[in-house]
Homo-oligomer: A and B are copies of this chain.
Amino acid sequence: MASPEEVEQKYELITRGLKEVLGGDAIKAILTEGRSPKCYWGKCTAPTGKPHIGYFVALTKIADFLRAGVTVKILLADIHAFLDNLKAPLDVVSYRTKYYEFLLRAVFTSLGIPTSKLIFVEGSSYQLTKEYNLDNYRLCATVTEHDAKKAGAEVVKQVDSPLLSGLLYPGLQALDEQYLDVDFQFGGVDQRKIFTFAELYLPRLGYAKRSHLMNPMVPGLTGGKMSSSDPKSKIDFLDPPEEVRKKIKNAFCEEGNITENGLLAFIETVLIPISEMRLERMRGETVADDEEGKGASGSQKPFIADDAPEGTVFTIKRNPKWGAPSHYKSYKELENDFAEKKLHPSDLKPSVADAIVSLLEPIRKAFLESEEWQNVERTAYPDPNAKPEGKKKKKEKVYHPPPPGKGKNANATNAPADPNIPATEGATSAVVNVDGVKEATSS
């Protein structure tokens, strides 16, 4: 049994900043018993593209869970990724899931978040089993087309000729809760209909109804919904500082506009919570875990100036030409200043860029220090412009005999070309590699 204060404290940490909580009582009951709730996060981890730093929004919330002693199971949805496009073969997908795991562990480690309760699960480890598939069939024999469609309406791409798989996903995601054996699922509030679908249907299969914790939806960092498919705007976790600064400089950030502003959203959902966490640690206020803060790499400085007054959670530095720095005690204060045009985008941007650069620095360092991670990266996301040296297989040399009467052996008429004999000196053969890139080899 945990004390009511401890329960409240942990519950507050688990749920703070969320847009909506369904089944909060069940989580409180688990905390009261002194148990660790188990959480599943999956939707955002179909490892199709390279993750961008928009992930920090969810990861910052997950950091709260881990700090409150929650066991967090991150689903590396390899089967879904494979099905999403049917382009990447399953073995490439498996490297991508490895890449995700390297990255996410590096992120949590850099923040000093205890990771002993962080578990990565590959979907393929259970989603192809007999039991899971029988349950999938049972679910399909229970769920109406209408309910499946409604559940996926916000998260499944709505197209003219929707694929059948779109109707399966809500059910599979519900089954994941059972098969991952968790107490709650975490996701964006765009998952609400999927979550309520799971709450309705899991009990019909005889399984427990799970709680659902939802993050608010925020605009993408650099304008509009940050998309992995626009490589120019997205900021990669491994981008070097100059790249980060350039992208932030080009980000959409209109003076006085606080609604479509990815930078403000990032300050609210990532930078200030991390800044606060660091301040809490400095004050010795850790909630749950002895591991808290241990092993943190890189600067653990909150995003405030050294001379910031007590209670500051974020400082906007300024070129002295334009005035003194602004110290904010809450996001709301900063937002108000921006709305009233007391805080200009050209002052906001460098402070955000500085904070992001300092966040990414230890992650980039971990990558550069890990040969294994680098190898995984190369296979998971091959450079389409690179020469295919990743494939160690020797290319078979093709001998194109010179036209009759030409070439070195012009006199040896009708000598058969032996494909096993290397092409004669100076001959050039065209080899088409696996990526379809035409490459001239001279042998």
Residues of chain A touching chain B, judged by Cβ–Cβ distance below 8 Å, are 79, 83-84, 86, 128-130, 133-134, 136-146, 148, 161-168, 171
Selected from B129, B130, B163, the residue in CB contact (under 8 A) with A144 is B163
Selected from B136, B141, B166, the residue in CB contact (under 8 A) with A86 is B141
CA distance A83 to B138 in the complex (A): 6
Q: Which residues of B contact A161 (CB under 8 A)?
A: 144-146
Selected from B139, B143, B146, B164, the residue in CB contact (under 8 A) with A140 is B164
CA distance A345 to B83 in the complex (A): 59
CA distance A112 to B404 in the complex (A): 66
Could you tell me the distance in whole angstroms from the C-beta of A156 to the nearest C-beta in chain B?
11
Q: A128-B134, A134-B79 are in contact. Are A168 and B140 (CB under 8 A)?
A: yes
CA distance A397 to B163 in the complex (A): 54
Contact in complex: B83, A141 (CB < 8 Å): yes
Contact in complex: A141, B163 (CB < 8 Å): yes
Could you tell me the distance in whole angstroms from the C-beta of A205 to the nearest C-beta in chain B?
10
Selected from B84, B133, B138, B171, the residue in CB contact (under 8 A) with A133 is B133
> Can you list 18 A-B contacts with CB-CB less than 8 angstroms, sorted by A residue number?
A83-B140, A83-B141, A84-B141, A86-B141, A86-B142, A133-B136, A137-B165, A137-B168, A139-B164, A140-B163, A140-B165, A143-B163, A144-B162, A144-B163, A144-B164, A145-B163, A148-B164, A167-B167
Nearest B residue (CB) for A80: B137
Could you tell me the distance in whole angstroms from the C-beta of A89 to the nearest C-beta in chain B?
12
Q: Which residues of B contact A86 (CB under 8 A)?
A: 138, 141-142
CA distance A140 to B287 in the complex (A): 46
By DSSP majority rule, is chain A's interface helix, strand, loop, or mixed?
A: helix
Q: Which residues of B contact A129 (CB under 8 A)?
A: 130
CA distance A166 to B142 in the complex (A): 11
Q: Which residues of B contact A164 (CB under 8 A)?
A: 139-141, 143-145, 148, 167-168, 171
Q: A128-B130, A164-B171, A167-B164 are in contact. Are A79 and B143 (CB under 8 A)?
A: no
Nearest B residue (CB) for A167: B164
CA distance A164 to B141 in the complex (A): 6
Could you tell me the distance in whole angstroms from the C-beta of A276 to the nearest C-beta in chain B?
42
Nearest B residue (CB) for A170: B164
CA distance A168 to B141 in the complex (A): 10
Q: Which residues of B contact A163 (CB under 8 A)?
A: 140-145
Q: Which residues of B contact A79 (CB under 8 A)?
A: 134, 137
Contact in complex: B83, A137 (CB < 8 Å): yes
Q: Which residues of B contact A136 (CB under 8 A)?
A: 133
Q: Which residues of B contact A140 (CB under 8 A)?
A: 83, 163-165, 168
Nearest B residue (CB) for A146: B161
CA distance A84 to B137 in the complex (A): 10
Could you tell me the distance in whole angstroms from the C-beta of A121 to the nearest C-beta in chain B?
17
Q: With A140-B168, A148-B164 given, can you name 19 additional A-B contacts, CB distance below 8 Å?
A: A79-B134, A79-B137, A83-B138, A83-B140, A83-B141, A84-B141, A86-B141, A128-B130, A129-B130, A133-B136, A139-B164, A143-B164, A144-B162, A145-B161, A145-B162, A145-B163, A145-B167, A164-B167, A164-B168
Q: Which residues of B contact A134 (CB under 8 A)?
A: 79, 128
CA distance A148 to B168 in the complex (A): 13
Nearest B residue (CB) for A145: B162
Could you tell me the distance in whole angstroms from the C-beta of A194 to the nearest C-beta in chain B?
15
CA distance A146 to B167 in the complex (A): 12
CA distance A133 to B148 in the complex (A): 20
Could you tell me the distance in whole angstroms from the C-beta of A10 to the nearest C-beta in chain B?
38
Could you tell me the distance in whole angstroms from the C-beta of A133 to the nearest C-beta in chain B?
5
Could you tell me the distance in whole angstroms from the C-beta of A171 to the nearest C-beta in chain B?
7
CA distance A171 to B161 in the complex (A): 17
Nearest B residue (CB) for A136: B133
Q: Which residues of B contact A84 (CB under 8 A)?
A: 141
